[in-house]
Amino acid sequence: ASLSSTARPGIPARRDDLAGEEPYGAPQIDVAHLLNVNENPFGPSAALAADMGAAVAEAAAGLHRYPDREFTALREDLAAYLAAESGIPAPPAEAVWAANGSNEVMHQLLLAYGGPGRTALGFTPHYSMYPEYARDTFTRWVTAERGPAPDFALTAAQVTAAIAENRPQILVLTSPNNPTGTALDPAVVRAAAEAMLAAGGLLVVDEAYGEFRRDGVPSALELLPEFANLVVTRTMSKAFALAGGRIGYLVADPAIVDGVRIVRLPYHLSAVTQAVARTALAHREELLSQVATLREERDVLAAHLAERGHVVAPSDANFIFFQPLLRTAADRHAVWQALLDRDVLIREVGPQPWLRVSIGTPEDNAAFRTALEEADPR
């Protein structure tokens, strides 16, 4: 028998609840215009790549030792960045926590605050990984619906009703949301924090796309001093163009961080990861100027789609959720395929017949517009 044989006798059965499950992931296809996983299209400048190389070389000299298990220098840098980005006073390093992507941060949160007999609540359409964190941690995952398209908004009444009905230990709100791109009204986030505080539960606000929010939209970070039960998660994958570096983080009361520290694996954040993250943070001006470009490109593309007659969800993220012109389920796939045939990969995700396109470089966005004229003609 060969190791590649899947039908080999003697393979033990998986956990019952994992039977038939597939690993999560969007197709990784080699095309010219990758607009399917909300990556930042701008690679590091030569200077930044060189600095990262130097930081990794320095870390390499010490790789025979385990890394700083508490990554204090990185937590201090993240705290200083958050203060500069959202105008809040810098949180103490103990209020910040990082892991290999915000996926791992959320997984650790569910490990520590979910678990058997506990419930986590989210609003659909939501990021596809949430139910998987819950499954892995034996947490019950329940959902309620966001409001109608194209805003997919939530009201305080909807959120408090869903909390009263489901009595979750954890509520996950995503703002800006994936796949819709829409940001929540800050009054709704506040109402959710109050209701979860009264219920003794945790509110997690996933701000993976927070830096792309439009002017005047506040971050939930502002609510942290008021709510001991609030966690705000962020990532370096999007605004910092560091999807390949795998660094996500959270800010919360240090007592909540202490819960996460119990379930984290020792030395989960490698010395190489820490060095790369700190170098990217040191170059934040360069990286955040690209965020400004992406926000402008997004607004121009959204206006273009609306002008073509598409239904478009208002976006505070680095992607746009829109309907093909013919608006049937069959058309969504046909349009996706016709774009791929023209070297433009976008994402079929969320409710029919919506499609999601990430904002790329000006060249990517122009290629998308040209391909769309042919794939979904007016």
Residues forming the site for ligand PMP (CB under 6 A): 38, 101-103, 127, 174, 178, 206, 208, 235, 237, 243, 248
Q: Using the minimum distance from each CB to ligand PMP, give the nearer residue, 174 or 279.
A: 174
Q: Shortest gap between Cβ of 204 and ligand PMP (angstroms)? A: 10
CA separation for the pair 336, 107 (Å, rounded): 31
Give min distance, CB of 40 to ligand PMP, in A.
11
Please state the three-class secondary structure of the chain as a single string. Answer: CCCCCCCCCCCCCCCHHHCCCCCCCCCCCCCCEECCCCCCCCCCCHHHHHHHHHHHHHHHCCCCCCCCCCCHHHHHHHHHHHHHHHCCCCCCHHHEEEECHHHHHHHHHHHHHCCCCCEEEEEECCCCCHHHHHHHCCCEEEEEECCCCCCCCCCHHHHHHHHHHHCCCEEEEECCCCCCCCCCCHHHHHHHHHHHHHCCCEEEEECCCHHHCCCCCCCHHHHCCCCCCEEEEEECCCCCCCHHHCCEEEEECHHHHHHHHHHCCCCCCCHHHHHHHHHHHHCHHHHHHHHHHHHHHHHHHHHHHHHHCCCECCCCCCEEEECCCCCCHHHHHHHHHHHHHCCEECECCCCCCCEEEECCCHHHHHHHHHHHHHHCCC
Cis amide leading into 150 (omega within 30): yes
For ligand PMP, give the closer residue by CB, 178 or 219.
178
Beta bridge partners of 231: 204, 252
Q: List the structure tokens of 159.
A: 């959120």
Query: What's the closest the beta carbon of residue 181 comes to ligand PMP, in angstroms?
Result: 10
Give the C-alpha separation, 104 to 236, whole Å. 13
CB of 137 to ligand PMP, least distance (A): 16
Closer to ligand PMP by Cβ: residue 102 or 279: 102
Q: Which is nearer to ligand PMP, 345 or 375 (CB)?
A: 345
Question: CB of residue 66 vs ligand PMP: minimum separation in angstroms?
Answer: 23
Nearest approach in angstroms of CB 34 to ligand PMP is 14
Nearer to ligand PMP by C-beta: 103 or 169? 103
Q: How far is the CB of 307 from ligand PMP (least distance, A)?
A: 27
Smaller CB separation from ligand PMP, 237 or 274: 237
To ligand PMP, the closest distance from the beta carbon of 349 in angstroms equals 10
Min separation Cβ 126 and ligand PMP, Å: 8
Kindly list the distances between the CA atom of residue 7 and the CA atoms of 13, 148, 236, in Å, as whole numbers in the listed order.
Answer: 12, 46, 40
Nearer of residues 127 and 321 to ligand PMP, judged by Cβ: 127
Nearer to ligand PMP by Cβ, of 280 and 338: the residue is 280
Q: How far apart are the first and last CA of the chain?
A: 56
- By beta carbon distance, the residue nearest ligand PMP is 101
- Residue closer to ligand PMP, measured from CB, 126 or 310: 126
What tokens were used for 22? 């597939």
- Least distance in angstroms from the C-beta of 310 to ligand PMP: 22
Query: 101 vs 125, which CB is nearer to ligand PMP?
Result: 101
